[in-house]
Structure 1
Amino acid sequence: MKSKEKYLPILLFACVALGIVIGGMLNFPQRTLSKQNARKVKLERLMDFINEEYVDDVNSDSIVEMTVNSILANLDPHSVYLPPSEQSSEAEIMKGDFVGIGVNFYMFNDTVTVVRPLENGPAAKAGILSGDRILYADKSKLFGRKLPTDSLYNKLKGEEGSKVLLTIFRKSTNKKLKLIVEREVVPIKSVDTYLMLNKTSGYIKINRFAENTHDEFRTGLEQLKKQGMTTLVIDLRDNGGGYLEKAVEVADELLKDKELVVFTKNRKGTVDKTYATEEGIFETGKVFVLIDENSASASEILAGAIQDNDRGTIVGRRSFGKGLVQREMGFEDGSAVRLTTSRYYTPSGRSIQKPYTKGEGEKYSHDAETRFASGELYEKDKMKIADSLKFKTKKGRIVYGGGGIVPDIFVPLEVKKGEENLAYILNSGVVGHFVFEQLDKNRNAFKGLKFEQFLTKMQNDYSYVPKLESYLKDAGLDMKLDSNKTLVKKYISAEFARQLFGESQYYHIILKDDTMLNVVLTRA
């Protein structure tokens, strides 16, 4: 067992973050100080010495953050410090809503530009349209100032029911408008979409596990069952995780009463097991779970529970390999620390945490590059599997621990070998920015089109592929797209559909001829 002194840096961190505020109130005699308290005092005295005597002005907050980050970097890759602005944004995303005006915006040429207002959201109700530039929020100028994103959000957010006067420039009419928007609670969906793939197969895409995930998932599940679903496909690709308990709640809808979902173990050896209940509404019927190298944490809990209980089939590529559980500690300034407090294990007893070296977080986070280099994303046999870490599922099938969930059915990366960076480009915001700028040049070309007409228009239109290639080159990415032009065209068309029609239409296109789904549908 690790000694207590190993974790003294955590106490030292608490001192650095808070001791400056309260340290002067404590006045213990020197002779009564324990070794632990002496180390606290050393840091307090150092901070006081710097503040009072250093030759130049210094930012105490930045020194504290540097110290905190240095301490956490020597623990594990998932023990991290979140500054106030980042913590606030993370908290909203995981809560599943915020109070604001309800627009998806893009900083285009130093101007806040509306990509698409949320359907039936406050901005849409006030008359804001895609392509509108927001010049002022009340008297605050929003253009030409290179404001950081959190500052922009703060101008547009506020109390529920409060109003903001927005000055808008509408390019399509070349006019300025003043519109009053009443702020409302704006949902942040963690379930992107649910739909029927055919008469019996349903599909649910989960992008993260937040407070609202189970409710959204159950709603989708109920609707798909009403439409005749007997096979469920859960898409966890690019899902980096979230709340463990929300993954458990989703698994509970699929597993029978008293089946083990997950268990955790802390450094004291305390084990906490979590079981499914009898409340599930899809405990029979086929289940497929799609994963890739970016499926992590809570995604791996769900996939591991389905695999180890022989409840369904895991399809795709080896998942990220995060088997550490964090607990969050907040501070008065709005910052927080996420500290690893335990490890989680799948029902068969697997720890799927991939190996890491303390202090080498950057190498750990760039593991995907190693997978590219090894050929693992293209060939199942190139996957690193620890033969010494064999475990058995409920029915006796062999599964492996030591670095992610290994799928039951392997599906290689869609892009051609040697062009792996394209996969990240297509799934980043770059395509969205490109499409917005294309629309902004000639939005009237799509005006009045119904979705079916749009599909016909885009069916054989490859003209945007070389335009994207030029756009990437201007951004410093010299990437040839011709050998993957069909795939690139699909992603461009899907992004056009999202910005013109909405999320469901995006998935209508993006899922067509999806390699993993094609594998599933042959077995459904």
Structure 2
Amino acid sequence: MENNNIRLWTPVLIGIAMAAGVFFGRQMAVPAGSGAGLEYGYENSNYQKMQDIIEIIDNYYVDSVNRDELFEQTIEDMLHKLDPHSNYISAKDLQLANEQIQGEFSGIGVRFFILRDTVCVTNVIKGSPSEQAGLKAGDKIVKVDGKTVAGVKISNDGIMSKLKGRTNTEVKVDILRNGKQLTKSIIRGAIPIYSVSAAYMIDPETGFIKIDQFSLTTEEEFRQASEKLMTKGMKRLVLDLRGNAGGVLQTATQIADEFLSNNKIIVSTKGQHSKERFYRATGKGNLENIKVAVLINENSASASEILAGALQDNDRATIVGRRSFGKGLVQEDMKLRDNSSLRLTIARYYTPTGRSIQKPYNGNIEDYYHDQIDRYDNGELYAPDTTKFVDSLKFVTPKGKVVYGGGGIMPDVFVAVDTVGNSWYLAQLRYTMSFQAFAFDFANGKYDQWKTPQEYARTFHISDALLNQFLKFSEKESGVKIDQTGLKTSKQWIKNILKAEIARQIWTEEGYFIVMNQIDKEVQTALKHF
């Protein structure tokens, strides 16, 4: 994909202040010299009343307003009074959402980030239009269709809007490579958005697969990845769903089917206007004899929880990590006349033992998402929250294992957040993207120095001299002053992350995980609990 941006949209609720503004606005809606006020909606339905209120605000409010944004925000607020996951998606945002679901978009096929106000290509997707046109990792894009994009403070969205476009259309890019400027003509095409970001063998018998999201293409990606690992001797699998916010329900059930024997319940759904439906395994799974550990955390949600819950309730996997997000609602997109969409909750889903894992909702969307911060504050990320383990939410699996509903998937094996080596200095280095920037420069010209990421992970080490070079670079380029106290605390973590980011520049996400999983607490714990 050309760029990965993850955004958390938290709507602004319309409260008493706005209600008062509407009231006084209407009182003022009296033309000079007129004996009667303007009537808005008294003879019409409540639906017309909403439009009238927006019109009054637009005409009489003390400051200028964007009536379209206000109207859409009002819709969002209304939906969030129902539940936290029903949502309104504008026509502009719907295209991006659909790309994530469908697993592809039309573009040129590069990954990039902006460094020193320059678009730097970090990876060229194999078989993509960019590869066919001769672009390489390390290139710097300075012009698009003759217009300068370097040194003009262009944003990620700005460059993507120039590179993406209709299939079979042409875009010309000027690049800098080894000090020379070259012009490349690229014919846009379908670019896959890969959701399986890593698949490799941790040891001769254990595979590792990382799923970032559940799109329509994820099941096929997962099947190909798992089959490849089985040819390499995989008998055990670490399935990483950490940070996976979900996606397509059907895809999650298809992947669960790979592990479960015939007729096993995967998940059930039911709503007021949606009949109860059971999703069952077909018995055609290729991984029914593979031992599996599933990694989850507080940011694993929705389809991730369906998959983890199905394997946990069928006594098919060991769940490792921390309590998942707690989204037990199913949405369906309903397209509106202006090509926007209403994403409406139509059902609740239940794990095979009958658990609802939807966490409580009091009608306040800000409180709902603040739960993630509350988990830090109340210490749940460092020890299991015993208040969640109550008898009324207790369920039992076929083999007698006790599991709990009411707010996420509770892991079988809890792993606390690893805080060893943390410091404010390390946080600053990560926040400013110093690691990625230095890794980009360092990797340039070294893409063929190691044959495999495994060889790199085994033989390459961050020396103290290279570390000092990085620290001086970060101070100069990102303004992060060297902090000797923070460095003493976080030195090893800084070295590990720097090594992993260099691997990411050369081999993308798989290179990163091959390095980091060697010291990852959840991964190492999973290996001990097969």
TM range (shorter): 0.7 to 0.9
Structure 2 counterpart of 1:177: 182
1:279 corresponds to 2:284: yes
Structure 1 counterpart of 2:74: 67
Query: Residues of 1 paired with 2:476 and 2:322: CA distance?
Result: 30
1:45 corresponds to 2:48: no
1:25-174 alignment, distance < 5 Å = 38-48=45-55, 58-170=65-177, 172-173=178-179
Structure 1 counterpart of 2:384: 380
Closer, same or farther: CA 440–317 of 1 in aligned 2, 3 Å: closer
User: How far off is 1:35 after superposition?
Assistant: 11
User: How far off is 1:447 after superposition?
Assistant: 6.5
Unaligned runs of 5+ in 1: 1-33
Query: Residues of 2 paired with 1:84 and 1:273: CA distance?
Result: 33
What CA RMSD, in Å, does the superposition of the two structures yield over aligned residues? Answer: 3.2
Give a deviation string over 1:477-498, Cα, whole Å, max 9, x none.
9993542432332222111111
Give a deviation string over 1:98-151, Cα, whole Å, max 9, x none.
121111122334433322222342223322233433232223443455455444
Query: Residues of 2 paired with 1:383 and 1:371: CA distance?
Result: 12
Structure 2 counterpart of 1:345: 350
Query: Residues of 2 paired with 1:334 and 1:390: CA distance?
Result: 44
Structure 1 counterpart of 2:6: none
Q: Secondary structure at the match of 1:396?
A: coil
Closer, same or farther: CA 261–442 of 1 in aligned 2, 3 Å: closer
Q: Is the 8 A contact 2:85 2:345 kept in 1?
A: yes
User: How far off is 1:441 after superposition?
Assistant: 5.0
Give a deviation string over 1:283-342, Cα, whole Å, max 9, x none.
123111111111111101001000111111111111111111111123344432322222
Closer, same or farther: CA 422–38 of 1 in aligned 2, 3 Å: farther
1:305 corresponds to 2:301: no
Closer, same or farther: CA 237–477 of 1 in aligned 2, 3 Å: farther
Closer, same or farther: CA 455–470 of 1 in aligned 2, 3 Å: farther
Structure 2 counterpart of 1:365: 369
Closer, same or farther: CA 415–55 of 1 in aligned 2, 3 Å: closer
Q: Secondary structure at the match of 1:196?
A: strand
User: How far off is 1:349 after superposition?
Assistant: 0.8
Query: Residues of 1 paired with 2:230 and 2:345: CA distance?
Result: 39
Query: Residues of 2 paired with 1:331 and 1:99: CA distance?
Result: 24
User: How far off is 1:409 after superposition?
Assistant: 0.9
Query: Residues of 2 paired with 1:289 and 1:155: CA distance?
Result: 39
Query: Residues of 1 paired with 2:272 and 2:110: CA distance?
Result: 45
Structure 1 counterpart of 2:438: 438
1:503 corresponds to 2:509: yes
Closer, same or farther: CA 488–328 of 1 in aligned 2, 3 Å: farther
Quick check: 335-344 or 46-55, which moved more? Answer: 46-55
Structure 2 counterpart of 1:354: 359
Letter in 1 for 2:438: Q
Query: Residues of 1 paired with 2:172 and 2:474: CA distance?
Result: 39
Letter in 1 for 2:505: Q
User: How far off is 1:463 after superposition?
Assistant: 3.5
Structure 2 counterpart of 1:394: 398
Give a deviation string over 1:210-259, Cα, whole Å, max 9, x none.
11110011111211222222212211111111111110000001111111
The number of equivalent residue pairs is 484
User: How far off is 1:190 after superposition?
Assistant: 0.6
Quick check: 61-70 or 286-295, which moved more? Answer: 61-70
Structure 2 counterpart of 1:186: 191
1:325 corresponds to 2:330: yes
Q: Secondary structure at the match of 1:254?
A: coil
Q: Is the 8 A contact 1:372 1:420 kept in 2?
A: no
Q: Is the 8 A contact 1:51 1:58 kept in 2?
A: yes
Q: Is the 8 A contact 1:434 1:471 kept in 2?
A: no
Q: Is the 8 A contact 1:466 1:481 kept in 2?
A: no
Quote the sequence identity (%).
40
Closer, same or farther: CA 499–457 of 1 in aligned 2, 3 Å: same
Query: Residues of 2 paired with 1:420 and 1:507: CA distance?
Result: 24
User: How far off is 1:86 after superposition?
Assistant: 2.5
Q: Secondary structure at the match of 2:244?
A: coil
Query: Residues of 2 paired with 1:464 and 1:245: CA distance?
Result: 49
Give a deviation string over 1:437-475, Cα, whole Å, max 9, x none.
224555567475225468544344444774697589847
Q: Is the 8 A contact 2:462 2:495 kept in 1?
A: no
Quick check: 262-271 or 510-519, which moved more? Answer: 262-271
Query: Residues of 2 paired with 1:220 and 1:196: CA distance?
Result: 11
Selected match of 2:266 from 239, 261, 272: 261
Unaligned runs of 5+ in 2: 1-40
Query: Residues of 2 paired with 1:351 and 1:477: CA distance?
Result: 49
User: How far off is 1:260 after superposition?
Assistant: 0.6
Quick check: 134-143 or 494-503, which moved more? Answer: 134-143
Q: Is the 8 A contact 1:199 1:228 kept in 2?
A: yes
Q: Is the 8 A contact 2:475 2:482 kept in 1?
A: no
Q: Is the 8 A contact 1:308 1:348 kept in 2?
A: yes
Q: Is the 8 A contact 1:376 1:382 kept in 2?
A: no
1:206 corresponds to 2:214: no
